[in-house]
Amino acid sequence: MPQHILITGGAGFIGSHLADKLLLCQPDTYITAVDNFDDFYDPRLKHRNIAAARQNPRYRLLTADICQPDQWQSQVAHTHFDAIVHLAAKAGVRPSISRPQAYYEVNVRGTQVLLDWAQRNGVKRFIFGSSSSVYGINPKVPWVESDTDFMPISPYAATKIAAEMLGHVYTHLYGMQFIALRFFSVYGERQRPDLAINKFVQAIEGNESIPFFGNGSISRDYTHVSDITDGIIAALGYRDTNYEIINLGNGHAISLSDMVRCLGEVMECEVRIAQLPEQAGDVPQTCADIDEARRLLGYQPRISLTEGLRQYVTWHQKEADV
């Protein structure tokens, strides 16, 4: 049966990959993508992300800000959506510390606007892109969804918790299905240029030192974007309960030192380190317990860090030649 999905943040890193996979694997799926092409990084990169999708007749792009209903709601007034995948957000832990109000406006109020519109227009399924940052400095790893002892240390993390709670309200009041997927350190082709792996690859290529915040013991649960999009698609097919919070990670924490060493091996280059002080807002470790994702969604991450880095480096080098 045909379905129509609204993807917010649709031209971004995860949103563009999700659209491509849905268009490729689900020939009865139609997509409307909304993106405001925020200048947090070069909007031309986002336009490049969706160049292929825009050639598909089942794909439509709306250039609009979700916080400004008059920019987009009239354009979808006569479209029935089976589900919303809400990925639009102000991203980045560190920038949120200096601009907390802006992050609240987009990540909390923007979610409220979208939930309210979904409720009024009979959209019954809402998939929300949350973040592992909600766990903050909780020392009990791997992090389990049932542990509500949140210890966020950035405004960004706080906005994601608030949005998850808004979803619970709408489930309770209106029977809407709300699935919050907590993403863990997503990386891969098209990732934001401000993220560590992109910066490290460029530094190695330029024979420059890699900026190392802290002593290298910081660990992350690196999850390839292909595994994340598989998890989102599985969540779109989930029907059993109305409210769930589910970790989407790789299930293994890897230290910054080990990740950099692996990257150097993939690139067959010597890596030089420039050690710097730890940065505010950075948590010392992230690690997902993914048992719930396996049980509810049949989720199983497939891309190892070595393979994921190899794919990223190959893509990065091709992009440099364009």
Distances from the Cα of 319 to the Cαs of 152, 203, 313, 316, in angstroms? 36, 16, 10, 5
Q: What would the DSSP string read from start to end of 126-179?
A: EEEEEEGGGGTT--SSSB-TT-------SHHHHHHHHHHHHHHHHHHHH--EEE
CA torsion, ordered 227, 181, 279, 198, to nearest 10 deg: 30
Pair type for strands 177-183 and 243-248: parallel
Marked catalytic residue, from 30, 156, 187, 312: 156
| DSSP-based three-state secondary structure for 312 | helix
Tell me the C-alpha distance between 53 and 31, whole Å.
10
Read off φ and ψ for residue 224, nearest 5 degrees: -70, 145
CB distance 228 to 189 below 8 Å: no
* Burial bucket for residue 27 (CB in 10 Å: 0-12, 13-18, 19+): exposed
Instruction: Count Cβ atoms below 10 Å from residue 214 Cβ, excluding itself.
Output: 15
The structure tokens listed for 320 are 């440099």
- Name residues whose C-beta falls within 8 Å of residue 277's C-beta, 6 or more positions apart in sequence: 213, 214
Closest CA to 156 of 129, 171, 134: 134
Q: Reply yes or no on whether 30 is catalytic.
A: no
**SS3 at position 275:** strand
| Catalytic (active-site) positions | 156
